A and B are shown apart, each in its own frame.
Chain A
Amino acid sequence: MKRSSLVRGGGGGAQESRLWSLWSWALALVLLAACRAESEPGYFGTVGRRGGAPNTFYVNNYDEPEHLDPALVSESAGSTLLLELFEPLVGEHPADLHAIQGTAERYDKSDDNRSYRFYLRQNARWSDGRAVVAEDFAWAWRRVLVPETGARQVTMMFALKNGALFHRGELAVLNAEFGGLVKGTPLRSYERTPENLRRAPALVPAEATHKLVGVHRAMPTFTGVAPPASSLTAAGAAASVAGAAASVAPSPEPLFFVPAALLERSDAVLGVRATSEHVLEVELEQPTPYFLELLGYPVFYPVRRDVVERHAGSGEAERWTRPEHIVVNGPFTLARHDFRYEMRLEKNPFYWEKDAIAIERIVVFEVPSAQATLALYKTGELDYLGSNGALPTGSMDRLLGYRDFGRAPWTGTYWYEFNTERPPLDDVRVRQALNLALDKRELIDSVARAGQAPATHFVPELTGSGYAAQVRADKAAGVDPFATRLLGFDAARARALLGEAGFTVRERDGTWMAEGFPPLEVLYNTSEGHRAVAVAVQALWKKHLGVSVTLRNEEWKVMIKNMRDGHFQVARFGWVADYDHPHNFLDTFLSYSQNNMTRWRDEAFDEVMARAAAEPDSKRSIALYRQAEERAVHAMPRMPIYFYTKSWLIKPYVKGFYPNAMNKHPIHWMWLDESWRANPENRPAHVPHELPPPGSYAP
């Protein structure tokens, strides 16, 4: 064998240069390719449909929905799809979300906003042809409240009279006559706390089998069960219930003991019932001003008892939502479901208004990657990106100018939470200083980059139910409690406040230093976007306040756990509206809310919130909510950063798409316009059926 090293030695340089020419060829190919684009000027993607079947709508859902069972859905991946599969009692107009007819054609309402009566349309059908009846709703709602169902959004159903009590298993009826109480008397059980035992006048029975109960007075008027008789004093020794007769008398009602065996869990006093096939009566705990908005949320959709129960015993109860089993009442049915890949929705042949639906079939991709989604849209494989995902931040600037790009404000707020028990954050002046020192405009322009609005408070300003109107009125009158001049970026005031709190901010060599201020740790969950904001916050606090910040990122589950346990100082969080009402945001500040991880507790706030929720006059109610929000803003347990926006891409030939604050874009309102070039006007696929004004209802 020849010695080859010499040969190789000579060849090295040539080898290298050949390599470079290869590289440059590759580069040339890329550049050549870059010159060829198939899209029409002005549009990001192609405007011709590529291989799409006619009247088939291609959309991305980003994620696999965790559930398709309306009771269990808690994330947008599921609720977006359920918009097509189920029809709620009351619908929403695609353009501005005002209430329109759903399965209900009209409704009555009591003056105190606590009682409703809905009249269902006669021709509403399930996808197997059976009529949709009021009991389908009533049963579905009761099901949500049963803990074993596992509904995470169960608290929404607490709007119903006695909903919370029923959920916690504190409601029962007597299944036999006892101590002078008739069979079927609704009772509420209590824990044996010393305080409650004091309210039980006589003996405490030794038997652990007895339950401490009280006669439940707060029952809905339509239960038909008479208030307890006055003969309770004649009760046996085991249940000394003196005074229970005065059940109409002032609270707290007296308590007594009943053998547990006589108690039966009951929904008799739950505020929903079907009084006939097509009439549903509802009684609410409080004059919930946003009740009609709530009805659009999946937990309020009807489900078929027979279909659900057929699978309940099988050990895999959730199987009823498989395409071969599911029965729905909406415009589309689930025809095919390739897990974590694709779903096919076909028009429901029994839907009462099927002829008005223009789209015959929806193909739902489940592509999680934002980049791949953009690519699929660009090449014409998607008609609309889908409402459920976000565009990549980095691509925003590039997309801005295109005609198929759109953006609208969205009811969500991005905020940082302070652990108000950890010094120095236990000082409200420190929290206020941190807020004032954050130049939110700069943060948005440099890292958030989606045209968000800097937030000085927590409830997005376009929130419905009268909130947006109040904001406008306050601004016009110059009395906006959250005006930028009061709460916006003001570095000098921030430094002064920090000084008051004992940390003098001095200038040294052109940079600020907060003397004695310990370094803060900002916690965020692992994600490019959150990291970007955290880096910006770090830089801005340093620049204007001289506060040094370290960053800590944790994976979502770990972060949530640490926040709940209080192992954090400052943490990234936010809230997106489930229903269009300020309550949705503000109840996370309640001292007893499980979603309040700031450890900020304010009785006055809780009290104003309670008054707001109990206020039947919606305008006064909103004013109270604003008052509560003002308290929260001044205590600053959370630092609002910006109000969300939603950006999207949709092909110009899709009509019936409307930007709206809740980012709800039902496809059954859309249609594909062949002649979109000649015909620029936009309208929904069919005319929405307006709800007539509510009739009066006096239960």
Chain B
Amino acid sequence: MSRFIVRRILALVPTLWLTVTLVFFFVRLAPGGPFDGERAVPREVLLALEAKYHLGDPLYRQYLDFLADLVLRGDLGPCFKYPGRTVNELLRVSLPVSLQLGVMAMTFALAVGVPLGVIGALRQNTWADTLATSVAMIGVSVPRFVLAPLLVMVFGLQLYWLPVARWESWRHAILPVICAGLPTAAYIARLTRGGMLELVRADFVRTARAKGLGEGAIVVRHLLRGGLLPVVSYLGPGFSGLLVGSLVVETIFNIPGMGRYFVEAATNRDYNIVMGVTIVYGTLLMTLNALVDIAYAWLDPRVSLEEL
């Protein structure tokens, strides 16, 4: 197990390096610079700004400096749009918020999705199945940017039940978590239902039932464990999808998370933020995938880590 984890961490390095390198040159090749704006920046000021951020240096030099700062000091450099803020500071402030939202939304998605899926599979074609499927359908069929304003309109502006924006108390989290988590919950419900339906008819389940094992025990011991496999596969991309999807939710509810930087930093040509976001996101994804593999092995006795 530990060898596997070490191997995974080692695999992270070249991939990250590749990503960093690609993105580094990508952003600098793009037209427009970080200081282009409505009012032309006087030449002398522009030169001073470029000197300050070493943007006048040859590209390879900037690249090596960036790598050195990153590797030796974990320093992602300054942010151009907000001078005096470092990218590290930006991420330190925004990443926990995004993670918080992401974890809450994922918890919500699992808490809603798995039971819905289980009910759907066990009570196939009953009223309960229809209800469960419908909830899942709504989640899958309505984009977050339609769902969010709808929820705001009803629960915030008409009923005055819940706050309409910002990130303060637990009450502020309700609508964003639902918006962010519902599509994921719907996926999970469908995957759970699908995965369990596969097993409901499997031989070993019939054997178990024939042996007189109770329904509850069958569900927990056999069906859930195996039926959740597709869900586990989905957790990695699902969580990262949540983080990216939270871009919409963060925008609409004005949550000070990392999502806003995905597009904004690129359009602002804020090179270092683009790098920072990419690195954080990449690391997160890779780690999650490794975790998913481990969980997969734990859940499915047919798979050993040796094979992964």
Contact = CB atoms under 8 A, between A and B. Distances in A.
A, B: real partners = yes
A74 interface: yes
B152 A557 contact: no
Given A339-B93, A557-B269, A595-B39, A368 B251 contact: yes
A147 interface: yes
Contact of B31 (A29, A149, A561): A561
Contact of A338 (B41, B85, B256): B256
Interface string B77-95: 0000111111001100110
Nearest to A60: B254
Nearest to B254: A367
A593 B40 CA distance: 9
B156 A379 contact: yes
A204 interface: no
A391 interface: no
Contact of A558 (B31, B166, B251): B31
B45 A147 contact: yes
Contact of B84 (A316, A375, A379): A316
Given A29-B154, A37-B158, A379-B164, A319 B42 contact: no
A147 B90 contact: no
A368 B264 CA distance: 12
Interface stretch (A1-9, A190-198, A463-471): A1-9
A152 B32 contact: no
A598 to B, nearest CB: 13
Contact of B83 (A67, A372, A562): A67
Interface in A438-472: none
B207 interface: no
A693 to B, nearest CB: 34
B165 A8 contact: no
A151 interface: yes
A367 B158 contact: no
A34 B158 contact: yes
A66 interface: yes
Contacts of A72: 83
A153 B265 CA distance: 23
Contacts of B268: 557
B47 interface: yes
A318 B86 CA distance: 11
Interface stretch (A14-22, A177-185, A285-293, A496-504): A14-22
Interface of B: 30-33, 36-42, 44-45, 47-49, 52, 81-86, 89-90, 93-94, 124-125, 127, 130-131, 134, 137, 149-150, 152, 154-160, 163-167, 200-201, 206, 251-254, 256, 260, 267-269
A372 B254 contact: yes
Interface string A5-47: 0011001000100110010000001100110111000000000
Interface string A52-96: 000000000000101100001010000000000000000000000
Contacts of B154: 29-30, 33
Contacts of B137: 19
Interface string A377-397: 011010000000000000000
Contacts of A556: 267
30 contacts: A8-B124, A15-B125, A22-B131, A30-B154, A36-B159, A74-B37, A147-B44, A150-B45, A150-B48, A150-B52, A152-B37, A152-B42, A154-B42, A167-B42, A316-B84, A319-B84, A338-B93, A339-B82, A339-B90, A340-B94, A341-B256, A367-B166, A372-B253, A375-B164, A375-B165, A379-B160, A557-B269, A593-B40, A594-B40, A595-B39
A168 interface: yes
A674 interface: no
B193 to A, nearest CB: 14
Interface string A86-113: 0000000000000000000000000000
A316 to B, nearest CB: 6
Interface in A312-333: 316-319, 321-322
Best-surrounded residue of B42, B85, B166 (most CB of chain A within 10 A) = B42
Contact of B39 (A18, A74, A319): A74
A597 to B, nearest CB: 9
A140 B81 CA distance: 22
Given A18-B130, A36-B159, A152-B45, A1 B166 contact: no
A289 B98 CA distance: 52
A1 B206 contact: yes
Nearest to B162: A379
A496 to B, nearest CB: 36
B267 A33 contact: no
Best-surrounded residue of A148, A322, A381 (most CB of chain B within 10 A) = A148
Closest 6 CB pairs of A and B: A318-B84, A557-B32, A594-B40, A375-B164, A147-B44, A33-B158
A155 interface: yes
Nearest to A338: B256
A583 to B, nearest CB: 14
Nearest to A379: B164
A155 B39 CA distance: 11
Nearest to A368: B254
Contacts of B38: 560
Given A155-B42, A557-B267, A341 B167 contact: yes
A34 B260 CA distance: 31
B92 to A, nearest CB: 10
Nearest to B80: A66
Given A8-B125, A379-B164, A372 B252 contact: yes
A555 interface: yes
A376 interface: yes
A630 B209 CA distance: 93
A372 B145 CA distance: 13
Contacts of B93: 338-340
Given A22-B134, A168-B44, A558-B31, A375 B159 contact: no
Interface string A352-384: 000000000000011111011001101101000
A318 B52 CA distance: 13
Contacts of B124: 4, 8
B32 A1 contact: no
Given A371-B149, A371-B252, A379-B160, 19 more contacts: A36-B159, A66-B83, A67-B82, A67-B83, A153-B39, A154-B44, A319-B84, A339-B82, A340-B94, A341-B167, A369-B165, A369-B254, A375-B164, A376-B164, A378-B164, A379-B157, A379-B163, A560-B32, A594-B42
A168 B45 CA distance: 9
Contacts of A37: 158
Contacts of B201: 1
Nearest to B164: A375
Contact of A167 (B44, B125, B251): B44
A564 B137 CA distance: 50
A442 B83 CA distance: 43
A369 B259 CA distance: 14
Nearest to B42: A154
A58 to B, nearest CB: 11
Best-surrounded residue of B81, B83, B159, B163 (most CB of chain A within 10 A) = B83
A168 B43 CA distance: 9
A33 to B, nearest CB: 4
Given A19-B130, A561-B32, A321 B84 contact: yes
Contacts of B254: 365-369, 372
Contact of B125 (A11, A378, A595): A11
B200 to A, nearest CB: 8
Contact of A36 (B30, B31, B131, B158): B158
Contacts of A367: 165-166, 254
Contacts of A147: 42, 44-45, 47-48
A73 to B, nearest CB: 11
Nearest to A168: B44
B130 A15 contact: yes
Contacts of B32: 555, 557-558, 560-561
A33 B137 CA distance: 23
Interface in A339-355: 339-341
B267 A555 contact: yes
Contacts of A151: 45
